[in-house]
A and B are shown apart, each in its own frame.
Chain A
């Protein structure tokens, strides 16, 4: 009820201000952490750290972007982690036929699973949570089957372009980072300036009303799940190219990281609102915590095992969502 109030069209200006403060708050936290890191650790702002950070976290950025669109329509996509694994195996298997084939294959595999999600949700009317839970299992099974239960599927070492997609640089920026930024620019424009984006927001705001308004709800829903799957497919390609092998067992729990990024970015799980850019900031913030922890360990003052990272991430997630729900409540009052 709180959220429906917050979403009501006659929202006073002050609440809009508060919301933008909330949204800006995440960005401010990111900047603060970067400034903190820059002063505290040598090499934090180095090109090497920047490039490694972006190379790894671009995958989380990509799946968070898809998740953001899905959540905006009021749905959820639990299958992305498995889709990343499946697409990485597909990409590795197709790598002897050229980088473009591998790229298209990985994205198509992801989009295919996304289409299955969308069709089950819209045609069979099964809740997104259950549907994508099932495809989470199914896509993982497919990935293991295609990899013949091997730990990894090696990519063709002669395919230099493929390796470049994961490990190369473009204008001194890591290629996966460039792909992620491009995806976010397109996604950002699509959300706020295309009919697809506006319809997605409308459906999340009120599905029945959107239907009565004559929106093709099913097609938009199908679209967001295909988009989420395709982006997870792209992330899978990057994973295979970075590690030199398709990884049928990778991506466990990535869907929850993506959801956390979107939530940290201030998008409500009830749908109807959301920002692509805050999801990017959320994903980068969660990644940066791990990065800073690594540097802190490198200083040798304290020594935290890598296992602390999930404890800290969980605590951080709690902190952010609590602050946000406070803000949302204030703005709705």
Chain B
């Protein structure tokens, strides 16, 4: 049934170099199940949901899913090394409370532009530093990734809450809020950020040495170490990237809300991101990174939620359906792989 090419690419995935458009075509072919589901959902909605085919609906869906996709890109890399990052939601909260602290600071009263610029950079770097800390827990202290990132999952939100004393901080700063509310050429700005993040992640996995290392570490850590892959440095880097992207997503969330709530920002994000990765066909045992699969996985979950809401199904029931979809998608992919 399959043509020969994708089969070969499956077997030799860790070493095969994706050659430009051909590599992209192969990746799309591998995600064909996700794409078909996605197309099916689109057709269904186009036929049965009024006003579905409008720019506004598209924008609503994409703005809702953009932060999940951004975080899920980092998660894809972490999971590809055989790890997992439970701390992303808490890191989003930390970055989310730091930004207003910076641009609302009276020290930048005379240079608001500088304040906003710093507010866009510093929280992201702080989140990346916390991600790096996760990496150190995993590599230096040799903790299991679940336990290592559980530490910051618990402590990270606490740190964010301590910073603001659990208070909601609201603000009106159109210049900062641009990353969440801006619409260059009618496209939501965070969707552009998301596309850039996806493209860079895809390119990294396909075309860089680091990307090869990530897959090698996840495929067989001992073999990777013996063949000279700097395993510890690779792991350190993927957790840092995951933290960095979580920080970025945190900024977008508070920009959309024009307020920062340490209790709410990023709540449950780790689960959404992991679900997107799993539905996208990346094995949790590592060694593979389906970047485009993760993108489609997140879009499928989002579109199902939207479809159910549009059909008047309550959000609670949508959760149950989401659960069933995750199980069904992962089961399908595993069956296909075994064949």
Using a CB–CB cutoff of 8 Å, the interface residues on chain A facing chain B are 1-2, 76, 120, 124-127, 129-131, 133-138, 140-145, 149, 252, 256, 259-260, 263, 269-270, 305, 307-315, 317-318, 321-322, 325, 329
Contacts and interface: CB of A to CB of B under 8 A. Distances in A.
A144 B326 CA distance: 19
A313 B314 contact: no
B224 interface: no
Given A145-B316, A310-B155, A310-B157, A133 B326 contact: yes
Contacts of B326: 130, 133-134, 137
A135 B271 CA distance: 12
Given A130-B278, A133-B274, A138-B320, A263 B147 contact: yes
B162 to A, nearest CB: 5
A283 B293 CA distance: 39
Given A76-B146, A311-B159, A322-B143, A138 B323 contact: yes
B302 to A, nearest CB: 14
Interface of B: 84, 86, 137, 141-144, 146-147, 150-159, 161-162, 165-166, 222, 267, 271, 274-275, 278, 284-285, 314-324, 326-327, 330-331, 334
A184 B146 CA distance: 26
A131 B329 CA distance: 11
Contact of B334 (A126, A141, A317): A126
B327 A124 contact: yes
Given A2-B142, A137-B271, A129 B284 contact: yes
Contacts of B274: 129-130, 133
Contact of B314 (A145, A270, A309, A314): A145
A134 B327 contact: yes
Contacts of A314: 151-156, 158
Interface of chain A: mostly helix, strand, loop or mixed? helix
A48 to B, nearest CB: 27
B314 to A, nearest CB: 7
Contacts of B322: 134, 137-138, 141
25 contacts: A125-B334, A130-B284, A130-B326, A130-B330, A133-B271, A133-B274, A134-B275, A134-B323, A134-B327, A137-B323, A145-B320, A256-B86, A259-B147, A260-B154, A270-B144, A307-B158, A310-B155, A311-B159, A311-B162, A314-B151, A314-B152, A314-B154, A318-B155, A321-B147, A322-B141
Contacts of B318: 141
A307 B157 CA distance: 9
Contact of A140 (B84, B158, B319): B319
A318 B161 CA distance: 20
Contact of A321 (B143, B156, B157, B334): B143
Nearest to A3: B144
A310 B158 contact: yes
Contacts of B278: 130, 133
Please name the 8 residue pairs, one residue from A and one from B, whose CB atoms are nearest each other, closest first.
Answer: A314-B155, A141-B319, A310-B158, A138-B323, A144-B316, A307-B161, A311-B158, A314-B154
A140 B314 CA distance: 13
Given A305-B166, A311-B155, 13 more contacts: A129-B274, A129-B284, A134-B326, A137-B319, A138-B323, A145-B317, A305-B161, A305-B165, A307-B161, A307-B166, A310-B161, A311-B158, A321-B143
Contacts of B151: 314-315, 317-318, 321
Contact of A307 (B86, B142, B165): B165
Nearest to B271: A133
Contacts of B150: 256, 259-260, 263, 317
Contacts, number: 141
A250 to B, nearest CB: 14
B258 to A, nearest CB: 23
B58 to A, nearest CB: 25
Contacts of B320: 137-138, 141-142, 145
Contacts of B153: 256, 314
B144 A136 contact: no
A125 B285 CA distance: 13
Contacts of B316: 140-145, 149
A270 B157 CA distance: 27
Nearest to A322: B141
Contacts of B158: 307-314
Contact of B84 (A1, A129, A259, A313): A129
A156 B183 CA distance: 53
A311 B291 CA distance: 33
A127 B283 CA distance: 10
Contacts of B137: 318
A269 B157 contact: no
B146 A120 contact: no
Nearest to B156: A314
Nearest to B285: A127
A130 B137 CA distance: 23
A252 B142 CA distance: 28
A313 B156 CA distance: 11
A305 B331 CA distance: 45
Nearest to A147: B316
B154 A310 contact: yes
B310 to A, nearest CB: 17
A248 to B, nearest CB: 8
**Chain B CB within 10 Å — which of A76, A126, A144, A260 has the most?**
A126
